[in-house]
Amino acid sequence: MAANAETAAERAAFYQAIAPQSMTPLWEVMAGLVTPQPASSCQPAHWSYAAARPHVLASGSLITAEEAERRVLVLENPGLKGQSKATTSLYAGLQLVLPGEIAPAHRHSQTALRFLIEGEGGYTTVAGERVTMAPGDFVITPTWGWHDHGNAGDGPVVWLDGLDIPIIQTLDASFAERSAAKAQEPTVPTGATLAQYGNAMLPDEAPAALTSPIFHYPYERSKSAVAAARLDPCHGRRLRYANPMTGDYAMPTMAAYLQAFPAGFESQPYRATDATVFCVAEGEGESEFAGQTFRWAQGDVMVAPSWAWRRHRASRDAVLFSFSDRVVQEKLDLWREDRGNTP
The pair phi, psi for residue 76, each rounded to 5°, is -95, 125
DSSP letters for 262-284 = -TT-BPPPBEESS-EEEEEEE--
Q: What is the dihedral of CA 129, 130, 131, 135, to 10 degrees?
A: 120
What average pLDDT does range 153-175 have in this prediction?
Answer: 98
Amino acid 289: pLDDT = 98
Q: Rounded distance, CA 247 to CA 171, Å?
A: 26
CB atoms within 10 A of CB 334: 12
CB atoms within 10 A of CB 21: 7
CB atoms within 10 A of CB 127: 17
pLDDT band at 342 (very low <50, low <70, confident <90, very high): very low
Amino acid 3: pLDDT = 76
Amino acid 340: pLDDT = 81
What average pLDDT does range 272-288 have in this prediction?
Answer: 98
Cβ 231 vs Cβ 303: under 8 Å: no
Amino acid 343: pLDDT = 43
Q: What domains can be seen in the chain, in order of their start residue?
A: 45-338 (2.60.120.10)
Amino acid 1: pLDDT = 57
Cβ 127 vs Cβ 38: under 8 Å: no
Amino acid 332: pLDDT = 98
- Burial string for 56-81 (b: 16+ CB within 10 Å, else e) reads beebbeeeebeebeebbbebbbebbe
How confident is the model over 1-45, as pLDDT tens digits?
567 999 999 999 999 999 999 999 999 999 999 999 999 999 999
What percent of the chain has a predicted confidence (pLDDT) above 70? Answer: 98
What average pLDDT does range 94-99 have in this prediction?
Answer: 98
Residue 287 has pLDDT above 50, yes or no: yes
Question: Average pLDDT, whole number, for the chain?
Answer: 95
How confident is the model over 109-148, as pLDDT tens digits?
999 999 999 999 999 999 899 999 999 999 999 999 999 9
Amino acid at 326: R
pLDDT band at 202 (very low <50, low <70, confident <90, very high): confident
Q: Rounded distance, CA 198 to CA 244, Å?
A: 7
What percent of the chain has a predicted confidence (pLDDT) above 90? Answer: 92
Helices (H), the chain: 5-18, 26-33, 49-58, 65-68, 165-171, 192-197, 219-227, 326-331
Element holding 287 (H helix, E strand): strand 285-289
Q: How far apart, in Å, are the Cα atoms of 274 and each of 10, 169, 308? A: 42, 18, 10
What average pLDDT does range 99-104 have in this prediction?
Answer: 94
How confident is the model over 211-257, as pLDDT tens digits?
999 999 999 999 999 999 999 999 999 999 999 999 999 999 999 99
Amino acid 2: pLDDT = 65
